[in-house]
Amino acid sequence: MPTLPDSVTQLLRDGLGVKKAAARVRSIDDVALPDIRLPAPVAERLTAVVGPEHASSSPDARVRHAFGKSTIDLLRVRGGNAASAPDLVLSPASHDEVLKLLRICSDERVAVVPYGGGTSVVGGLEPDARGFAGLVALDVRRLNALVELDHESLLAVLEPGLRGPEAEELLGEGGFTIGHFPQSFEYATIGGFAAARSSGQASAGYGRFDELVLGLRVATPAGTLTLGRAPKSAAGPDLRQLILGSEGAFGVITSVTVQVRRTPEARVYEGWRFESFAAGARALRRLVQEGPRPTVLRLSDEAETALNLARPAEIGAGSGAGALAIVGYEGGVGEVAVRHDQASAVLREGGGGLDPDAGESWARDRFRGPYLRDALLDAGALVETLETVTFWSSLDGLYRAVSDALRGSLSAQGTPPVVLCHISHVYPAGASLYFTVGAAALEDPIAQWRAAKAAANDAILAAGGSITHHHGVGIDHRDWYAREIGELGVDVLRAVKAQLDPAGILNPGVLIPGAGR
Amino acid sequence: MPTLPDSVTQLLRDGLGVKKAAARVRSIDDVALPDIRLPAPVAERLTAVVGPEHASSSPDARVRHAFGKSTIDLLRVRGGNAASAPDLVLSPASHDEVLKLLRICSDERVAVVPYGGGTSVVGGLEPDARGFAGLVALDVRRLNALVELDHESLLAVLEPGLRGPEAEELLGEGGFTIGHFPQSFEYATIGGFAAARSSGQASAGYGRFDELVLGLRVATPAGTLTLGRAPKSAAGPDLRQLILGSEGAFGVITSVTVQVRRTPEARVYEGWRFESFAAGARALRRLVQEGPRPTVLRLSDEAETALNLARPAEIGAGSGAGALAIVGYEGGVGEVAVRHDQASAVLREGGGGLDPDAGESWARDRFRGPYLRDALLDAGALVETLETVTFWSSLDGLYRAVSDALRGSLSAQGTPPVVLCHISHVYPAGASLYFTVGAAALEDPIAQWRAAKAAANDAILAAGGSITHHHGVGIDHRDWYAREIGELGVDVLRAVKAQLDPAGILNPGVLIPGAGR
């Protein structure tokens, strides 16, 4: 675990009033696990499907499948509270085994949480299993093959349990890449990317993961769905888009056909400094609307720039003024050169000045941010991120509304926060905002954060934003999500769920309010 | 109506054995309309919602709403058979009026066919109203406003009744375009583009219509759905993609938020001639996979090139050998120049030779093709088109399978056909195939075509294609569509329909087998 630079320790003490380090449990033996509720005969039937070596009720297995990676999850781990742990962890090796497990769980009314990389930050791994005969985690880690690589169509058929680096390594041997690099990349899985509509740091160039998915196989309690015979089609509603984002509530994704690209020959990352967040946002908007489009586009607001958050290794090391953009290009050597020159002209016209080192240091350290959080929590800070997305014309209002809500709630609790923000993903019609919040932790930091987050969520909806751009819905966003799509939208989801999962065993309470209860 | 060039008349006679001109009814008075079944009190209640001047049961109104534009539709018109005519045509002026009409129709079990431009070529306007108390056409032509134009997000909120040219004119005043130009452009409406997942001739550059739709308002018998707060989001399944392609079976689209672009400064269209269809396809594939991507990409096979079908004004005028591609660029002057030069280098490397005039003559005449069909039918020919899409690695197999199926079926009926094909839309992962078929008409040309089409549809599914790339499902493709998405996929659609349209009044029998019966 990284240690905090002195500058950060000083910021915590002087800036946020952090006074004392937080306590945490020492080892897994101190974590309180709930009693196993799953009846032994049912556990035996389920175990027989996967084989005893791929089924476990050990405390270690149960604890490892009890949490995601939100700050609330980390706080619960630290507090030794594993109330959400499954009774049994099962690792099937095939689509057919998944189908069999789902049928048994349906018959016996056992709740199922599909588990990939465990990187949910929205409570996606804590279904509400009240009223069920138990809870099992269906861990897809053994479904980890590159099934097919179609060089002509640039398609890879991947199993859901492949983690980001594993998938990239398998594809890289053939000279291909998905180009999907979210911050969770090192742990998150292909199935999770699809089920939760992940979006990576190079989405401007490669697209969101949901845009790259052209085929899906899904095991549901009602049978198998096989979707996607073509990149696009007019054959009715796009049912792939009903499974993408379904977060395990409709079925378990057992195969994903994903668009790949040839591994880029050239990669260039640069920093560009703008006088203000607004000026930088205008330049990014022009690039994404009129081209040429860089592969990576990200813009920190003034506060985040000042704190150097885009370069985790140098946080607090003193950054310049204004708003720092990271602009990256990946592709063929000649193509990157042309695109770089054209885009640089647009950025310069938009008032940007080149900051040569910032790009490469961002690229080097870009997966490092989340690891700092543990050290910050240890030091007695409360740190968390949240994100949203809207159209460009509403972006400034959304930015202000969410910042104000976070500041208002945390200040009212006596812990005035630092609120940082960046534009993390851009589209011709809009952009996402990614907020990082830090404050001194109160005695009950979970309640402290829940209050701040609720205020932010209300502000997001009031300002016209979507409740999530790429973190997903889970349990944490569920009630705001229901407001976002309206009662009739929720009814549609319930109808689909009732068809695919009549017993309501899949991730009850995740995504859909009241589902499976 | 255009007259046929001598070369075409000669082709029909000598090439296809067309012997005698076809008969057709003289005027609308000769068309047989079914008796009106809708009970008068219900008609009065419905009429009261829109006002008597916007409701009609006149023979003219009924006939005009009885047909789409498939060859079978044209043949039925010619035969004077309007069995599919609605009892009453209603033109609501607002979302609320649509809701009211749907509620009354639900209560009274009256079937409803939403009507836009009437350009369906898949039987999308002939719901199966057996078992209902009548059939009303809900014509959206009065919902024809440009509601909002967001210059910053490049978004237009459009009502569904706007025809293609009307929408472009309203947007053009502000300097914008949708860039959506399907062959049905002159008549088809914004609502129809969305409901049937239309794809335009410039889709390589501007995207398919479904990719441009970022927001939807939908009136359903169960209430209103308002979808789309952001370009993309991880907030659950993308419900917009459930309405897009729903073909009026789930609700009536009353507002569409669509991505627009600035009207291009420059437009360049060129012809490129390749030695073979296969060589041209490789060059197109390289462009769409590696860039730079032209705005228009289309490639005729050898037979279509020989017949000059890409240039309707010069059909049969003697074209060169090989396979003709149309490649177009639209955008800023400088950007188009760069893209043109880069793409031209790729096309030349792929074996292409410039054919300077072919591009501009294609652009001039590109909406003219469908008008020829009437003259060909008059002359005694059977002419129709069909389309499909698949991944690149399956494209050649699909091409051969569909061609063989059409030739096999029509030859077995004693009318060996001419089968022409072009790649009409391209994606990194695949492409669509658009077939044009001509043969001598038999005594019952409808049965003749249905047999050929069934053989082609079977071949499409067997070769791994999707049953439609941009024509939609309607009645004609419904049974093959069900095979494409599987029983469980159909069950999901039925569940959604039951939720939004519990009485099953909306387009019964369209899209979903057995729905509403």
Token digits of residue B157: 């909120």
Mean pLDDT of all residues in A113-140: 97
Among the partner residues A230, A338, A485, nearest to B391 by beta-carbon distance: A230
Among the partner residues B338, B342, B496, nearest to A496 by beta-carbon distance: B496
- From chain B, the residues in CB contact with A393 under 8 A are 150, 152-153, 155
Q: To the nearest whole angstrom, how far is the Cα of A109 from the nearest Cα of chain B?
A: 21
Report the run of H or E that residue B220 belongs to, with start and end.
Answer: strand B213-220
Q: Do B223 and A198 touch (CB under 8 A)?
A: no
The pLDDT tens digits for A320-346 are: 789 999 999 999 999 899 999 999 999
- From chain B, the residues in CB contact with A208 under 8 A are 232
Instruction: Supply the pLDDT for residue B365.
Output: 80
Q: To the nearest whole angstrom, how far is the Cα of B503 from the nearest Cα of chain A?
A: 15
Integer-rounded Cα Rg, in Å, for chain B is: 23
Instruction: Supply the pLDDT for residue A59.
Output: 95
Instruction: Supply the pLDDT for residue B4.
Output: 83
Instruction: Supply the pLDDT for residue A314.
Output: 61
Instruction: Supply the pLDDT for residue B7.
Output: 80
Among the partner residues A154, A242, A465, nearest to B237 by beta-carbon distance: A242
Compare A359 and B352 and report the one with higher pLDDT: B352
Is the pLDDT assigned to residue A468 strictly greater than 50? yes
| Residue A425 and residue A199 in contact, taking contact as beta carbons nearer than 8 Å | yes
> Which parts of chain B have pLDDT scores under 70?
1-2, 309-319, 515-517
| Alpha carbon distance B334, B331 (integer Å) | 8
Instruction: Supply the pLDDT for residue A374.
Output: 87
What percent of chain A is predicted at pLDDT more than 90? 84
The pLDDT tens digits for B441-494 are: 999 999 999 999 999 999 999 999 999 999 999 999 999 999 999 999 999 999
Token digits of residue B406: 């059409």
Name the 3-class secondary structure at A330: strand
Q: To the nearest whole angstrom, how far is the Cα of B267 from the nearest Cα of chain A?
A: 16
Instruction: Supply the pLDDT for residue B516.
Output: 46
Name the 3-class secondary structure at A119: coil
Token digits of residue B427: 């994606």
DSSP string, B26-95: SSGGGSBPPPP-S-HHHHHHHHHHH-GGGEE--HHHHHHTS--SSHHHHHHHHTTB-TT--SEEE---SH
Is the pLDDT assigned to residue A107 strictly greater than 80? yes
Q: Do B393 and A152 touch (CB under 8 A)?
A: yes
Q: Which residues pair with A373 in a beta bridge?
A: none
Is the pLDDT assigned to residue A257 strictly greater than 50? yes
Instruction: Supply the pLDDT for residue B317.
Output: 52
The pLDDT tens digits for A376-435 are: 999 999 999 999 999 999 999 999 999 999 999 999 999 999 999 999 999 999 999 999
Instruction: Supply the pLDDT for residue B157.
Output: 98
- From chain A, the residues in CB contact with B502 under 8 A are none
Among the partner residues B238, B243, B488, nearest to A225 by beta-carbon distance: B488
Q: Do B236 and A473 touch (CB under 8 A)?
A: yes
| Residue B9 and residue B372 in contact, taking contact as beta carbons nearer than 8 Å | no
Q: Do A237 and B493 touch (CB under 8 A)?
A: yes
Instruction: Supply the pLDDT for residue A516.
Output: 46
The pLDDT tens digits for A471-490 are: 999 999 999 999 999 999 99
Minimum CA–CA partner of A196 in chain B? B234
The pLDDT tens digits for A418-428 are: 999 999 999 99
Q: Do B338 and A338 touch (CB under 8 A)?
A: yes
Residue A8 binned pLDDT confidence (cut-offs 50, 70, 90): confident
In chain B, what is the straight-line distance between the N-terminal and C-terminal CA atoms, in Å? 40
- Helices (H) and strands (E) counted in chain A, each on its own, are 19, 18
Q: Do A229 and B484 touch (CB under 8 A)?
A: yes
The pLDDT tens digits for A55-89 are: 999 999 999 999 999 999 999 999 998 999 999 99
Q: Is A218 left (phi over 0), alpha (psi -120 to 50) or beta?
A: beta
Residue A11 binned pLDDT confidence (cut-offs 50, 70, 90): confident
What rounded mean pLDDT belongs to chain A? 94
Minimum CA–CA partner of A394 in chain B? B153
- From chain B, the residues in CB contact with A468 under 8 A are 233-235
Minimum CA–CA partner of B243 in chain A? A237
What percent of chain A is predicted at pLDDT more than 70? 97
How, if at all, do strands B223-227 and B213-220 pair? antiparallel
Instruction: Supply the pLDDT for residue A515.
Output: 53
Q: Do B232 and A155 touch (CB under 8 A)?
A: no
Is the pLDDT assigned to residue A165 strictly greater than 80? yes
Is the pLDDT assigned to residue A26 strictly greater than 90? no
Does the interface ipTM go beyond 0.90?
Answer: yes
| Alpha carbon distance A301, A177 (integer Å) | 31
Of B87, B81, B89, B102, the closest CA to residue B36 belongs to: B87
Q: Which residue of the set A115, A206, A399, A434 is catalytic?
A: A434
Instruction: Supply the pLDDT for residue A370.
Output: 72
Q: To the nearest whole angstrom, how far is the Cα of A156 from the nearest Cα of chain B?
A: 11
Token digits of residue A318: 């003193």
Q: To the nearest whole angstrom, how far is the Cα of B72 from the nearest Cα of chain A?
A: 20
